[in-house]
């Protein structure tokens, strides 16, 4: 039976309903009126954009309204694709998955002479509208009217998969999705985010271009006010779900997802770097990358201490891993902090945990190594399996613990692990989520028919060989202790491990329970019960309803809040798991 899980949660933005437009006709009329209000003979409209935005669609959609006498494409002033490839070659490496976090600024990919020539062309126009478009448009002209065109990270990936777009400024016609994503993750999106932080605040308008031929636009002031309103109330991200080779049936059945050729493996509803937000301005629903909230309201969202430690990054991630009726995850290990910093330029690593939402009979979690494991023998067996000569004897080397509903397995970096088939996992982890070193993938191919990348060389360098079953049982399996109680509620500490910076608390409650702010953003999931309502003791935000398995965020600016069973859960005991950054 599908739950009441809301797949399209939105935040209603108050007081800005008249500053939003939908469709090119309405948007064009507003921009033409804005040009008219400026009252100039010549108006330069700068449309800065994120890589992957459909620039041709935008110019075609706005042409009749703005009637530009010149359309200047910013990339005419960019360096040659071959030169761009050479610049980033070292950071991207030859690996299909991993690169080094790139420090580039966009100016490094534009030629000063070409910029000057394009500016001369623009300056030669004496009358009418000049439209400057593209990633880097703000380098060409300051503009009399400034628009920022954006799209979500997930939509970029969909355009990769459809073959619609490739890498920005690359001479290579890459078709390997992993390599396309890698270039985006390590280079393009980092550079684009740096530019966004500089120019979005000064933009007159914000243009959502996520849906083909269906743009939404708000004033820059309305966008920033929306971000401010979101930073003062609980909210959910827009979830998305993706098939995988080991996918199961739980997400499809419980969330109510459409059937796919390949079953759903992942569910993402708590990853601000990947997920989006829906802002509703009256009847207009705007979609924007959730990372924009992190960039432009970091202290209110994260808390002063968390911001001081991590900067404008959201350090906690919740996601779903579904192997019920599916296959095991790849046997894997995450890099130590020292290794991820030295090899990939990341400041912190992917410590994590598995919270079991549901488990089929016989389900288990591989976690840590067998007592008296011989590293050389295990690595030799992994090498043989990778060469295809034999199957890796996982049970010989890796400890497997039975898994049941509401178990919590703690996985500090360096610990070998994976879920078996039969588990529905809520993964609670630090955010650097692509840094998974697969050690073995159960002799299978990916959905593309190619072997999924195995990184045995990296993995062998970070495995903690001392983390064997005795240590795991004592340190990582259901390290649960009750820490507080009150009328109709109990609070338990469930982790994470003392080596990890994330703290988790589970509440069981049949009455309203109060949560106090502790200097960190809170991320929660309703792990038991059909419905709960989050409320403000001083009515600073409207009551917020959450349903089973929904992840939600409470910004650090919310000093206290209560959660109570509501609707069909009223009078019953329900449960939440909460994660935050330890002080």
**526: how many CB neighbours lie within 10 A of its CB?**
25
Contacts of 283 (CB under 8 A, 6+ apart): 22
Distance CA 52, CA 173 (A): 15
Give kind and range of the element (H or E) at residue 105. Answer: none
Select from 521, 537, 14, 28 the least CA-distant residue to 270: 521
- For residue 65, the surrounding DSSP H or E stretch is helix 55-66
pTM score, whole prediction = 0.97
Domain 242-276+301-475 and domain 481-581 have a common topology: yes
**pLDDT value at residue 2:** 63
The answer to whether the beta carbons of residues 145 and 120 sit under 8 Å apart is no
Q: Which single residue is written with the structure tokens 């932080």? A: 197
Mean pLDDT of 473-477: 97
Cα of 207 vs its chain's centroid, Å: 20
Q: Which two tokens stand for residue 330?
A: 């790849």
How far, in Å, CA of 271 to CA of 316, rounded? 8
Task: State both tokens at 267.
Answer: 């569910």
**pLDDT computed for residue 472 by the predictor:** 97
CA distance 296 to 557: 14
Half-sphere exposure of 313 (CA within 13 A, CB side): 17
Q: Which pLDDT does position 450 carry in this prediction?
A: 85
Q: What is the pLDDT of residue 3?
A: 74
Listed in sequence order, the DSSP H helices in 141-219 are 153-161, 177-183, 189-199
**C-alpha distances out from residue 125 to 41, 43, 130, 254, Å:** 10, 10, 8, 60
What is the residue extent of each domain of the chain? 12-230, 242-276+301-475, 481-581
The model's pLDDT over 226-257, given as tens digits with 9 standing for 90+, comes to 999 999 999 999 999 999 999 999 999 999 99
pLDDT digits (tens, 9 = 90+) for 529-581: 999 999 999 999 999 999 999 999 999 999 999 999 999 999 999 999 999 99
pLDDT-based confidence at 445, cuts 50/70/90?
confident
CATH 3.30.70.270 fits 12-230, yes or no: no
pLDDT given at position 448: 87
At 101-153, the pLDDT tens digits run 999 999 999 999 999 999 999 999 999 999 999 999 999 999 999 999 999 99
CA dist., res. 130 & res. 63, Å (int): 11
Contact call for residues 290 and 275 (beta carbons, < 8 A): yes
Fold classified for 481-581: Jelly Rolls (2.60.120)
Q: What is the pLDDT of residue 563?
A: 98
Percent of the chain with pLDDT over 70: 100
On the question of pLDDT at 1 being above 80, the answer is no
The per-residue b/e assignment along 181-208, b for 16 or more CB within 10 angstroms, e otherwise, is bbbbbbbbbbbbbebbeebbeebbbbbb
Residue 188 region by backbone torsions, left for phi larger than 0, else alpha for psi between -120 and 50, else beta: alpha
Locate the DSSP E strands across 360-460: 364-369, 398-402, 408-411, 417-419, 423-430, 437-440
pLDDT score recorded for residue 534:
98
Q: What is the pLDDT of residue 463?
A: 98
Please give the Cα distance from 352 to 354 (Å, whole number). Answer: 7
Q: Could you tell me which residues come within 8 angstroms of residue 392 by beta carbon, excluding any fewer than 6 positions away?
A: 331, 381, 382, 384, 385, 440
The pLDDT score that the predictor gives to residue 433 is: 77
* Share of residues in the chain with pLDDT > 90 (%): 96
How many alpha carbons fall within 13 Å on the CB side of residue 278? 16
**Taking the domain 242-276+301-475, which CATH number applies?**
2.60.120.10
Mean pLDDT of the region 174-182: 96
Q: Are 107 and 144 in contact (CB under 8 A)?
A: no
What value does the mean pLDDT take over residues 401-425? 98
Q: Give CA torsion, residues 301, 315, 518, 5, to 10 deg.
A: 70
3-class secondary structure, 425: strand
């Amino acid at each position: 039976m599908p739950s009441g899980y809301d797949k399209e949660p939105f935040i209603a933005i108050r007081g800005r309903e008249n500053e939003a437009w939908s469709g090119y006709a309405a948007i064009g009329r507003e921009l033409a009126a804005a040009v008219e209000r400026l009252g100039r003979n010549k108006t330069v409209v700068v449309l800065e954009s994120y890589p992957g935005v459909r620039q041709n669609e935008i110019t075609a959609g706005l042409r009749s309204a703005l009637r530009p006498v010149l359309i200047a494409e910013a990339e005419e002033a960019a360096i040659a694709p071959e030169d761009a490839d050479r610049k980033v070659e070292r950071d991207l490496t030859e690996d299909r998955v991993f690169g080094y976090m790139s420090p580039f600024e966009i100016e490094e990919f534009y030629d000063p002479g070409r910029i000057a020539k394009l500016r001369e062309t623009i300056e030669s126009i004496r009358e009418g509208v000049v439209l400057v478009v593209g990633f880097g448009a703000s380098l060409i002209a300051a503009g009399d009217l400034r628009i920022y065109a954006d799209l979500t990270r997930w939509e970029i990936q969909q355009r990769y998969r459809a073959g619609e777009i490739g890498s920005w400024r690359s001479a290579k016609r890459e078709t390997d999705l992993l390599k396309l994503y890698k270039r985006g993750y390590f280079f393009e999106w980092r550079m684009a985010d740096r530019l966004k932080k500089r120019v979005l605040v000064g933009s007159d308008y914000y243009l959502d271009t996520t849906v083909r031929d269906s743009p939404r636009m708000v004033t820059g002031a309305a966008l920033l006010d929306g971000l401010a309103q979101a930073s003062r109330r609980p909210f959910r991200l827009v979830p998305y779900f993706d098939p995988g080779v080991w996918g199961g049936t739980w997400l499809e059945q419980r969330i109510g997802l459409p059937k796919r050729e390949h079953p759903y493996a992942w569910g993402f509803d708590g990853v601000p770097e990947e997920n989006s937000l829906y802002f509703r301005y009256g009847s207009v629903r705007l979609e924007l990358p959730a990372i924009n909230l992190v960039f432009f309201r970091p202290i209110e969202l994260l808390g002063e201490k968390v911001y001081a430690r991590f900067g404008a990054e959201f350090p906690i991630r919740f996601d779903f891993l579904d192997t019920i009726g599916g296959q095991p995850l790849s046997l894997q290990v995450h890099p130590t902090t020292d290794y991820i910093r030295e090899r990939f330029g990341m400041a912190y690593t992917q410590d994590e945990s598995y919270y079991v939402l549901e488990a089929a009979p016989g389900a288990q979690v591989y976690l840590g190594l067998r007592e008296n494991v011989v590293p050389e023998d295990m690595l030799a067996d992994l090498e043989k399996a990778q060469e295809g000569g034999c199957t890796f004897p996982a049970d010989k080397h890796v400890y497997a613990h039975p898994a049941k509903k509401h178990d919590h397995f703690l996985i500090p970096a360096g610990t070998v692990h994976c879920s078996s088939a039969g588990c529905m996992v809520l993964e609670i982890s630090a955010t650097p989520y692509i840094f998974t070193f697969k050690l073995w993938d159960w002799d299978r191919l990916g959905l593309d028919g190619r072997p999924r990348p195995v990184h045995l060389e990296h993995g062998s360098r970070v495995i903690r060989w001392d983390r064997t079953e005795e240590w795991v049982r004592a340190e990582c399996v259901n390290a649960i202790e009750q820490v507080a109680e009150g009328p109709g509620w109990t609070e338990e500490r469930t982790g994470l491990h003392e080596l990890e910076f994330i703290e988790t608390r589970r509440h069981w409650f049949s009455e309203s329970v109060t949560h106090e702010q502790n200097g960190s953003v809170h991320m929660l999931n309703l792990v038991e019960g059909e419905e709960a309502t989050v409320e403000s003791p001083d009515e600073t935000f409207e009551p917020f309803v959450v349903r089973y398995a929904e992840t939600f965020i409470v910004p650090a600016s919310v000093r206290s809040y209560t959660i109570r069973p509501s609707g069909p859960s009223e009078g019953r005991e329900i449960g939440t798991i909460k994660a935050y950054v330890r002080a």
